[in-house]
Amino acid sequence: MSVKIAVLGAGSWGTVLADLLANNGHEVRLWGNSAETAAEINDHHTNKHYLPDFKVSPKVVATLDLKSTLAGVQAILFVIPTAAMRIVAKQVAPILAETGAKPIIISATKGLEQNTHKRISQIIGDEFPAELAEGLVIFSGPSHAEDVATHDITSLTVASQNIGDAEWVQAIFMNDYFRLYTNDDMVGVELGGALKNVIAIGAGILHGLGYGDNTKAALITRGLAEISRLGIEMGANPLTFMGLSGIGDLIVTSTSVHSRNWRCGNALGQGQKLDDVLANMGQVVEGVGTAKAAHELAQQHHVEMPISESIYRVLYENANVQDEINKLMQRRGRREMDFQR
Ligand SMILES: NC(=O)c1ccc[n+]([C@@H]2O[C@H](COP(=O)([O-])OP(=O)(O)OC[C@H]3O[C@@H](n4cnc5c(N)ncnc54)[C@H](O)[C@@H]3O)[C@@H](O)[C@H]2O)c1
Ligand SMILES: O=P(O)(O)OC[C@H](O)CO
C-alpha cells in the first residue's frame, strides 16, 4: 500500500519520520516554517541544524505552502511542538473544510497545552469537526529521532478511539526496524508521553549533580508511580503505563543523551540557568511547559506528584535543587503500591 501523506513540522522528528515514510514507498510532503530549511532539504537532502549527519531521502519534498501540501493527502502527521499545535491546527482545519477532504489525522507531538492543560487529542477535538477528530491517531513511545535516523530498532504505540485507523497507521509505518503496537487508551498514551518529559528533566538534574544509578532508577520508578496515579485519576488504563508509551518512553527519555529534556535537566544540575539552557538548546524541551500543566492538573485532581512538583518548583520558582531532593527524602514513609490519590 502506498499513500500520500503530509508531515507538518520540519524539525528533528518530522524530518526523520518523513524520511522513513518515503523509504516505505509513500509520497511525502514535509511542511515547515523555514524557507532556508525547505531549500536545504530539497537541494541538499539534509537538515543539519537538527540532524547534522543525516541524509534525507531525495523522495521527501519539503514545502512552505500548507494548502498545496494538504491537497489530496490520505493522512496528515503533526510533528510540531505542543505550543504550536493549536496555531497550526487552526490553519489546517479551514483548508480541509474548503475541499471537504477527510484525511486521517495523526499526532506525534508529546505535551500538555499551557493554561488549558489539554492533551493533543483535546486540542484537535476543539479545532476539527468530530468526524475528523474522532479518528485521531496518537503516535508515541521510546523513539529518539537520532536513533531512528540510523535505523536502530524502535517500537512505538499508535492509539486511537477508532482502532481501524490505528491499524492503518501501523501498516504504513512498519518496516524491518520500526514496529508499532495499537492501543485504544488515548488518555494513558497521551499522558505517559507528556508527563515522562518532566521526570526526564529530573533524571538529567540528578546526573548533573553527580548522583548514581540507584538514584536514577528510584526516580524513574517513583516517577512512573506518580504518572500512573494522575493517569488513573484521569481515566487511563493503568496497564498502559507498563507499555511503550509509558515505562518504555520514560526509560529512553530519562537515560539518553539524545533527550532534550534530559540534557536540559543535566545542565540545570550543573548549575546553569534555565533561560540560558533553553536559549542554547535550539530545539523544543516539552517538559518545561508540561511541568506547569502537570502541577496545575495535580492540584485540580488532588493527586500527589511530589517529584513532578519539585521539578516544577525548580523550573518556575527558582527552588534550590538540593533542598528539593532533601524534601523528597524527608517525606513520611509510604506504601509502595499506593496508586490512590
Ligand atoms: N525529536 C525526537 O526525537 C522526538 C521523538 C518523539 C516525539 N517527539 C515530539 O515531537 C514534537 C516535535 O519535536 P521535534 O523534536 O521535531 O522538535 P524540534 O524542535 O526538532 O522541531 C520543531 C519544528 O517545529 C517547527 N515549528 C514550530 N512552530 C511552528 C509553527 N507555528 N508552524 C510550523 N512549524 C513550526 C519548528 O520550526 C521546527 O522545525 C515534540 O512534541 C516532541 O516531544 C520528538
Ligand atoms: O528529546 P526529548 O527529551 O524531547 O524526547 C524525545 C522523545 O519523546 C523520546 O521518545
Whether the CB-CB separation of 16 and 177 falls below 8 Å is answered with: no
Given this model, what pLDDT does residue 338 score?
80
Q: What tens digit of pLDDT does each residue of 278-297 get?
A: 999 999 999 999 999 999 99
Question: Which ipTM value was assigned to this complex?
Answer: 0.99
Task: Give the whole-angstrom CA distance, residue 238 versus residue 221.
Answer: 14
Which of 4, 90, 196, 273 does the annotation list as catalytic? 196
User: pLDDT digits over 257-271, tens only?
Assistant: 999 999 999 999 999
Asked if domains 4-184 and 193-329 share a fold, the reply is no
Burial of 226 (0-12, 13-18, 19+ CB in 10 A): buried
- Residue ranges, the chain, pLDDT below 50: none
Tell which one of 47, 78, 80 to mutate to probe ligand 1, the residue whose CB is within 8 A of the most ligand atoms. 80
289-303 exposure pattern, b = at least 16 Cβ within 10 A, e = fewer: bbbbbbbbbbeeeeb
* Strand partners of residue 27: 4
Which is nearest to 161 in space by CA: 194, 195, 197, 119? 119
| Three-class DSSP category at 298 | helix
**3-class SS string, 104-121:** EEEECCCCCCCCCCCCHH
Q: What is the pLDDT of residue 255?
A: 98
- Contact (CB, 8 A) for 207 and 260: no
> What's the pLDDT at 339?
73
Q: Annotation-wise, does 125 bind a ligand?
A: no
Residue-level pLDDT at 40: 98
Q: What is the pLDDT of residue 341?
A: 56
Which ligand 1 atom sits closest to the C-alpha of 111?
Answer: 41
Cα–Cα distance list, 115 to 17, 134, 196 (Å): 29, 24, 19
Please indicate whether residue 67 is annotated as part of the active site: no
Distance 108 CA to ligand 2 centre (A): 11
- Annotated binding residue 145: yes
| Domain regions of the chain by residue span | 4-184, 193-329
- CB contact at 8 A, 63 and 30: yes
The 3-class SS string of 236-294 reads CCHHHHHCHHHHHHHHHHHHCCCCHHHHHHHHHHCCCCHHHHHHHHCCCCHHHHHHHHH
110 C-beta closer than 6 A to ligand 1: yes
**CB within 6 Å of ligand 2 — which residues?**
110, 142-144, 197, 200, 249, 252-253, 258-261, 286
Share of the chain above pLDDT 90, in %: 98
Residue with cell 530519562: 254
Strand duo 4-8 + 27-31: pairing: parallel
Looking at every residue in the chain, the average pLDDT score rounds to 97
CATH class for the region spanning 193-329: mainly alpha
Q: 4-184 — its CATH code?
A: 3.40.50.720
- CA–centroid distance, 44 to ligand 1, in Å, is 21
